[in-house]
Chain A
Amino acid sequence: MFRSARLRLIVISAGLGSLAVAVVLALVFWTVNRIIETETRSVVNAELTGLAESYGDLGILGLSRTIDRRVRSGSDPDAVYLLTDGFGQAVAGNLGAWPPTVEAGGGWVELELIRTDNEKVVPISAASVQLRGGERLLVGRDASARQRFDAILIQSLILGLSAAVVVSLVIGWLLSRLVFSRLSEVADTAGEIISGEMARRIPLRGTGDEFDRLAVTLNEMLDRIEDLIANLRMTTDSFAHDLRSPLTRLRVHIETLANDRLDGDAKAHALDRSVSEIDHLLRIFSDLTEIARADALLGQSEFETVDLTALIREVADFAEPLAAETSIRIETNGTAPPIVGHRALLLRAFVNLVENALRYAPPGSQVSIGLSTSGGIACISVSDAGDGVPDSALDTIFRPFVTLDESRTGGASGLGLALVAAIARLHHGSATAANLNPGFRISLQIPLGSGA
């Protein structure tokens, strides 16, 4: 039964509400009782002291007369008195005999005694004193009226508590209705999305409350997922398309090899071509794996401190002979503080960018690798003097398999820049491209200490 969260919520809310009310009422009961008790004791003590004094002034006869007068006047019907001689024989008052359990002067006692004025056994709270002549005096209050008051008080408190239980049950129910009606909206929407209506979103009530904020966050998450799925679909489509061409060429080469009339040279050529087509396909697979892993943030466990300045120097040295073949100079400038990142993947990204720049840079020109820092973000940019891309393509070149005329997207697999962008994302950074007119530049923005 407690598997229902709603029932649980109602029970807990009612339970806690009732408990709170019960505690308050118990406190009220206890306080009232204590006040009455204190009051009673102070009245009795004052009377006892007063009577003991009058014994000193008037003697036993005077005291017994005073007591009889008080009993007879009936001005305080709850007051009880008992004056006895040294042997416990009643001399005055409205009680029968000195109770054997009570020692005179022994302090406050609670007991039941017979009242001689109305012949009833009544509960009594009393104090007593031993007088000088051996006589004993007991003064007290008949507690039956107070017990009646207590009973009435308890009755009203129980009534109040019952009302509180009912009210908190209602509050719990209302509360659960509020929460679960919003939750069921979320669940309904999720159900519709599961059944294929990917565009469905959780309705907002426009109140801007926590539920609306939750709905907004969930909706944003759904948008992001839909984007990713759309991207994935596009990638899969392009992937299928891009696999077709090398596979078709591979097939042609293999069919050529099957031709018996072919001479040795032609066969060797077809074999070479086949191997390089297979290498091309493997390259696509391995780049896609690396992109997927970077996007899943798998490499973050390998983060270490990376000296970017040394890294770009190293990449420039690595690519220098390649540049020299077309008389291109590679220049590095600027510095940046060390970042926390994936050294091997950053190297790979920079090598990709430099190779990409070298492919499009005109002979005799210059490729520069620049480093700078601003606002806690390191910027690594690689620029060349080659032709740029249409402005509309500045964002799309970082997508996998985007094909442009004079594609700059990269490299043997068409995934080079997509991988660069994925590596930037792994570092909580981004990749951007800019036409320099003339020239072209790709920059990576990577927060310093992105791994922290």
Chain B
Amino acid sequence: MTRRILVIEDDPETRGFIAKGLKEEGYAVETAEDGRNGLYLATEGGHDAIVLDRMLPGLDGVSLVKSLRAAGIQSPVLILTAISAVDERVRGLRSGADDYLVKPFSFQELLARIEALMRRPQEQKEPVSLTCGDLEMDLLKRTVHRGGAEIALTQMEFQILEYFLRRKDRVVTRTMLLEGIWGYHFDPQTNVVDVHVSKLRKRIDDDTRSPMIRTVRGHGYMLSDDT
């Protein structure tokens, strides 16, 4: 069944660009140009995700999320904000939104985050192990095997790999890693995230096998089994 996404954004160009991109990805998209219409459409329910701007005419984004939650609408919400300050990011999440994205953003980043949000409700039962091809992660024993051989990982490498495995075959961006692994709501000035990922990659991939963690140029990484 086609997934439905509601986009609430007052800037027509941004709204059009998000809607067009999501339609190309196969989603059914509804749009609203202000807070009131957005709230009206959202309360009809049944959206798999809601993307909304932090500053909207009529009703601002944070109040809108609060109204939605008060009305019992549990659709995951991603807030778009023009303010990059650390405080603003945290405040957006505290209002009841599930994720935020700072403008300007790349469409790939938005898509990666929407897909990550929509996957959540399906994972109702916490798995005890995660797999990708011949890579196996035991979440209880906290061990990792590839092709039967155990791979020793540091705690941080384990966390990063777990993050990737939970988002198998989907793009994981650098900022998603920063927020998800370290809880940092800012971008470092160095390529330190890439270094962490390449360190992990060296542990689980070697020359004899095709690499599992691929770099998606300009966007981030993807863990998948190509064999």
Docked complex Cα distance between A302 and B91 (Å): 10
Number of B residues near A (Cβ < 8 Å) is 23
- Stretch among A17-25, A135-143, A236-244, A284-292 lining the B interface: A284-292
Could you tell me if A286 and B189 are in contact, using CB atoms closer than 8 angstroms? no
Could you tell me if A411 and B84 are in contact, using CB atoms closer than 8 angstroms? no
* A317 within 8 Å of B (CB atoms): yes
Could you tell me if A322 and B184 are in contact, using CB atoms closer than 8 angstroms? no
Could you tell me if B187 and A319 are in contact, using CB atoms closer than 8 angstroms? no
Docked complex Cα distance between A299 and B186 (Å): 15
Please encode chain A, from 345 to 378, with 1 for each CB lying within 8 Å of some chain B CB and 0 for all others. 1011001100110110000000000000000000
* A121 within 8 Å of B (CB atoms): no
* B196 within 8 Å of A (CB atoms): yes
With both beta carbons as reference points, the residue of chain B lying nearest to A411 in the complex is identified as B189
Docked complex Cα distance between A16 and B18 (Å): 73
Could you tell me if A412 and B189 are in contact, using CB atoms closer than 8 angstroms? yes
Please encode chain A, from 15 to 50, with 1 for each CB lying within 8 Å of some chain B CB and 0 for all others. 000000000000000000000000000000000000
Q: How far is the CB of A266 from chain B (nearest CB, A)?
A: 16
Please encode chain A, from 321 to 336, with 1 for each CB lying within 8 Å of some chain B CB and 0 for all others. 1100100000000000
**Chain A interface size, under 10 / 10 to 19 / 20 to 34 / 35 or more:** 35 or more
Could you tell me if A348 and B190 are in contact, using CB atoms closer than 8 angstroms? no
With both beta carbons as reference points, the residue of chain A lying nearest to B189 in the complex is identified as A411
Number of A-B contacts defined by CB within 8 Å: 67
Could you tell me if B87 and A299 are in contact, using CB atoms closer than 8 angstroms? yes
Could you tell me if B192 and A283 are in contact, using CB atoms closer than 8 angstroms? no
Docked complex Cα distance between A322 and B191 (Å): 8
Docked complex Cα distance between A318 and B187 (Å): 13
Which of chain A's residues have a CB closer than 8 A to the CB of B90? Answer: 302, 344
With both beta carbons as reference points, the residue of chain B lying nearest to A347 in the complex is identified as B184
Docked complex Cα distance between A411 and B87 (Å): 22
* B199 within 8 Å of A (CB atoms): yes
* A275 within 8 Å of B (CB atoms): yes
With both beta carbons as reference points, the residue of chain A lying nearest to B104 in the complex is identified as A282
Secondary structure dominating the interface of A? helix
Could you tell me if B86 and A355 are in contact, using CB atoms closer than 8 angstroms? no
Docked complex Cα distance between A345 and B85 (Å): 10
Could you tell me if B218 and A275 are in contact, using CB atoms closer than 8 angstroms? yes
Which of chain B's residues have a CB closer than 8 A to the CB of A293? Answer: 85, 87
Which of chain B's residues have a CB closer than 8 A to the CB of A321? Answer: 192, 195-196, 199
Q: How far is the CB of A411 from chain B (nearest CB, A)?
A: 4
Within 8 A of A (CB), among B50-106: 83-87, 90, 102, 104
Q: How far is the CB of B220 from chain A (nearest CB, A)?
A: 13
* A272 within 8 Å of B (CB atoms): yes
* A410 within 8 Å of B (CB atoms): yes
Could you tell me if B189 and A285 are in contact, using CB atoms closer than 8 angstroms? no
* A341 within 8 Å of B (CB atoms): no
Could you tell me if A322 and B195 are in contact, using CB atoms closer than 8 angstroms? yes
* B185 within 8 Å of A (CB atoms): yes
Docked complex Cα distance between A359 and B104 (Å): 28
Docked complex Cα distance between A157 and B190 (Å): 89
* B156 within 8 Å of A (CB atoms): yes
**Pairs across A and B, CB under 8 Å, 11 listed:** A289-B84, A290-B84, A298-B87, A317-B156, A321-B196, A321-B199, A322-B191, A322-B195, A344-B90, A355-B188, A358-B190
* Residues of B bordering A, CB below 8 Å: 83-87, 90, 102, 104, 156, 182, 184-192, 195-196, 199, 218
* Residues of A bordering B, CB below 8 Å: 272, 275, 278, 282-283, 285-286, 289-290, 293, 298-299, 302, 314, 317-319, 321-322, 325, 344-345, 347-348, 351-352, 355-356, 358-359, 410-413, 416
**Extra 19 A-B pairs, beta carbons < 8 Å, given A298-B85, A351-B184, A352-B189:** A282-B84, A285-B84, A286-B85, A289-B83, A314-B182, A318-B192, A321-B195, A321-B196, A322-B190, A325-B195, A344-B87, A344-B185, A344-B186, A347-B184, A355-B188, A355-B190, A355-B192, A358-B190, A410-B189
